[in-house]
Chain A
Amino acid sequence: MVGSSIFLTLILYLVLLFGIAYRIDLSKKWRKRIAGNPTVYALTLAVYCSAWTFFGSVGAASTYSIEFLTIYIGPLIVAPLMWIIYRKFIRISKAQGITSMSDFISSRYNKSIALNRLVTVLLGVGIIPYIALQITGIERGLETVISWGDKSQANFSFFGFIDMAFVVTVGLGLFLIAFTTRKLQDKSQNHGMMGAIAFESIVKLVVFIVFGIYVCYYIFDDQSQVYALIPDGELKLNTSNNFSQWFGMIILSGLAFLFLPRQFEVGVFAASNETQLKKAIWMFPIYLILINLFVVPIAVAGNHFFSETDVDKDTYMLALPLLNGHKWMAIFVLLGGFSAASGMIIVATHAISKMVANSILLPSFIDRPFFINRFKGKDHKIPVLFRRISILIVLLLAYFYYKLVAVEYSLISIGLVSFIAVSQFAPAILGGIFWKHGNVKGAFAGIVSGFVIWFLFLVIPTLFGGTVNKNYIMLVTESIENNHGAIITTVFFWSMFVNASLYVFVSLISKQSNLERNQAELFVNIYNYSESVESSVVWKGKAFFPDVQSLLSRFLGEQRANYELRTFTEKNNIQLDEKEELDSRVVRHVEKLLSNMIGSSSARILVASVTKEDQISMEDVVDILEESQKLMVLNKELNQTSQELKRLSDALKLTNQKLKKNDLLKDEFLYTVTHELRTPLTSIKALSELLTDDERMPEEIRKEFLQTILKETNRMTRLISQVLDLENFESGKHQLRISHADINELIVYCTNTMDETFKKKNISLHIALDDTLPVMELDYDRITQVVINLLTNASNHCNTTKGEIWVGTRKSNNTVIVEITDNGEGVERGMEQVIFEKFFQADNKGTKKSKGSGLGLAISKKIIQLHEGKIWVEKDETFGAKFIFTLPFEQNKFIVA
């Protein structure tokens, strides 16, 4: 195998990563896509699966123990809890401008710069070997592929001393410098880098699954064939089937998943919003399942081929295809391993280097005159410079650790040692966000004690082999060799026990400072304050606007600084006056903005340098917290009140509109009625005048006049009684008098009443009644009124030469349907609704006069509605108008008399 072709592949892959990150950073559209995307978020969380997953899992599984699964079961259990824990982390970090794990811890505990540094150093000590482990993973993979069948090429290098691992390290360092230190102002969100990490997560998953399928179905015929190779009863939880060890490892992995700096980085600081969490909670477990699906079969297959050879168990993934002569597959796997390792290296280095720069380097140098003079006017370059320096420091340390120490150990043990290191921060962090009384002294005590135990029992043996104190080292190293898992869980248990106990104990016996009390409240009850952190933080002192402004401009640039200050003051209604003392909220906000960029320690130092801070008293803390609580309650109440007011005014508006409409209707009605009355009145008046004036009028004309007068008087009477009727129905004065009645009998009665009219108009009547109708509940007189009205209308509108009217009843569910049809012209299209309205006859602007039905239909509609029935008209194709009304058999609202 030619090393240079592999080298080229890896370089191309790195170039691809650069390309992706560059593409995303360059385009606003892509940045936006990455920023809020929950899938990308879930994929970046998978940075948890490093080279250790890729090669180490198989190595561990080849002992027929499934202990390696604990590394994934832990996160599986913790995933739902992310909603409780990570959501709080995200909220706090956003509210306080926190961008690193050490800032997070120190912000909670008295903003202690010493604690900040301690956390940074310990995390470095814990994580740098882990980064080295990834380099080891890459290097071992390369070595396996290159030296397969030709041992002489084992140490592939350039010019005899630059090995591949170094090239890779430098490449990744450049990647970090390019994509994480360019734009420090942008609230620490490195979308390009995150996009590349998500991409790497896809690559490693795809490679693993493809390789699994390759082993199970290409090298072997079937998956079950592979499983059949497991010796009977040999699949164990761990080497000694120890359930407490299994449990301990699960808890350890769960804590590590939450508190590894790289997880913090992708899960908390890179999160754009909290809803991303919900999706990640179910997507991430699926990822874990998929990437572990083929681990056991691959390990079993590896054992099948290599158990008697000297092939390293961690390299089974590469040895399998090489043995079968599939070099392309080996390179493919190598690429997957590389993506897993590089992803971890990038994020972990980013996280650690940010802490090193912001917590150790910057605070030490930022207010030195040398730097201030050297970078005059270009202050924003200071953090960039330090960030770059720290990236190099971290990577070089990792590289040397790899060179000097790491080669000796299996991939999984260094990883677990790191896990225990980071879990030492769990008590302080979890206590910090859930327990108000935890304080800085307790945090110190817990963290230091935990790390001491970790260092004594896990680090010294790996560092010095057997040269320092023979007996002690022998004791520890031998127990690690013989009972690897047991020693891990034992150290984990004891370190955590001592750590947590001391944290609680020391916190209880020592007092919190006032500042700390303030921060504790803000951390624990963050959901109450997240909107108003600036006003909930106590800051007392003298500060003047120009000083603060120029400080912020140093790092953000004048334009951006002014913009930030303006938006903040406008949002909070703060008046800026150059001569007056500055509102403390502005000072807090400036500190937050700076903290976002250069870390909380440096931000604090800088803010203190331009202001004159006073000691804050307990009363201040209590006051301000109470006040901001009160403010919140008040706000809430105000909100409620204003909402209620809005609802009320809406209701009022509605009522007003209704009233207006009613008024209009009333006017129209009045107009119609007076107009209707005027016509008969006119003729009555005219005819009476003529009768009075002309005494010699012929008898038959006199008679005709008198008859007409009578007719018109009747017309008026009818109209008036109808108006009264309708008015009474509408105002509720008319109640139905419900009794039991036979609707068919009622209809027959009505037609009999109308018989004379029909005969006079030569109308033939057809009746078709449904005999099966039950006795119904209805108001007999009112329904009679309706039917008579409809029959009268029909007789007025049916064909004048040969009038025909059909009346019918039928049953439908629990209602009766009554139909009255004539053979006239039918109701004009579009008027079907209007004819039932009381003001139909004459609209007051129009001059068209339709042959109206007066108020009869309006009254009929009212009556039917009171019976909870419906009335409408249809146009019959062959006949004229078809009036239909329905009535329920029973009445619910009325008592049957």
Chain B
Amino acid sequence: MNKRKLQSFYIFIGFLTLVLVNYPIVYHILDMKTGQIPAILVYLLIVGMVVSIIGFILEKKNR
């Protein structure tokens, strides 16, 4: 991956995350439940993990 593409990727993840953790997505998840645990907590956990995993992949791909 060249430098420019890598930069764009990082910017893209940043903004994607910004969208994922805000209205209206969060609004819809707020009242749901997964078992006993509020769904919003699980959802945010997943988003966090996804960011981390993509970051991990980008690092490995650009050694």
Contacts and interface: CB of A to CB of B under 8 A. Distances in A.
User: Is there a direct interface between A and B, measured as CB atoms under 8 Å apart in the complex?
Assistant: yes
B34 to A, nearest CB: 10
A358 to B, nearest CB: 32
A66 B52 contact: no
Contact of A288 (B36, B48, B54, B55): B48
Interface of A: 66, 69, 73, 76-81, 83-84, 223-225, 227-228, 230, 233, 235-237, 241, 243, 246-247, 250, 278-279, 281-283, 285-286, 288-289, 293, 296
B36 to A, nearest CB: 4
Contacts of B49: 286, 289
With a 10 A CB-CB cut-off, give which of B11, B18, B54 has the most chain A CB atoms.
Answer: B18
- The prevalent SS among residues of B at the interface is helix
Task: Rank and list the top 9 A-B pairs by shortest CB-CB distance, nearest first.
Answer: A282-B55, A224-B36, A243-B23, A80-B10, A278-B59, A281-B55, A285-B52, A282-B56, A80-B13
B51 A76 contact: yes
B2 interface: no
B58 A278 contact: yes
A84 B38 contact: no
B11 A84 contact: yes
Nearest to A241: B30
Interface string B2-37: 000011001101100110011100110011000111
A225 B37 CA distance: 9
A831 to B, nearest CB: 48
Contacts of A289: 45, 48-49, 52
B22 to A, nearest CB: 5
Given A81-B10, A224-B37, A227-B36, A282 B21 contact: no
Given A66-B41, A84-B7, 10 more contacts: A77-B17, A80-B11, A233-B31, A237-B26, A243-B26, A246-B23, A281-B58, A282-B59, A289-B45, A289-B49
B39 to A, nearest CB: 10
B38 A230 contact: yes
Contact of B59 (A223, A235, A279, A285): A279
Contacts of A283: 52
Given A69-B44, A80-B10, A233-B31, A246 B22 contact: yes
B1 to A, nearest CB: 12
Given A228-B36, A278-B59, A81 B52 contact: no
Nearest to B35: A224
A214 B60 CA distance: 36
B62 A227 contact: no
With a 10 A CB-CB cut-off, give which of A225, A236, A285 has the most chain B CB atoms.
Answer: A285
A225 B38 CA distance: 13
With a 10 A CB-CB cut-off, give which of A66, A77, A228, A241 has the most chain B CB atoms.
Answer: A77
Given A243-B23, A246-B22, A77 B36 contact: no
Interface residues of B, number: 35
B27 A243 contact: yes
Contact of B40 (A66, A83, A243): A66
Contact of B22 (A76, A223, A250): A250
Contacts of B38: 227, 230, 235, 296
Given A227-B37, A228-B36, A84 B52 contact: no
Nearest to B18: A77
A84 B16 CA distance: 16
Nearest to B3: A527
16 contacts: A73-B44, A76-B47, A77-B14, A79-B51, A83-B7, A83-B10, A235-B41, A237-B30, A243-B22, A243-B23, A250-B22, A278-B55, A278-B58, A281-B55, A288-B48, A296-B41
A353 B56 CA distance: 36
A278 B52 CA distance: 11
Given A79-B55, A279-B59, A73 B21 contact: yes
A236 B27 CA distance: 10
A285 B48 contact: yes
Contacts of B36: 224-225, 227-228
Contacts of B41: 66, 235, 296
A250 B45 contact: no
Contacts of A247: 22-23
Contacts of A278: 55, 58-59, 62
Contacts of B45: 289, 293
A41 to B, nearest CB: 13
Nearest to B38: A235
B59 A81 contact: no
A293 to B, nearest CB: 8
A286 B18 CA distance: 17
Contacts of A246: 22-23, 26
A602 B35 CA distance: 62
Given A73-B21, A246-B23, A250-B22, A81 B11 contact: yes
A285 B44 CA distance: 12
Contacts of A236: 30
A244 to B, nearest CB: 8
B40 A235 contact: yes
A796 B23 CA distance: 92
B46 to A, nearest CB: 10
Contacts of B18: 77, 250
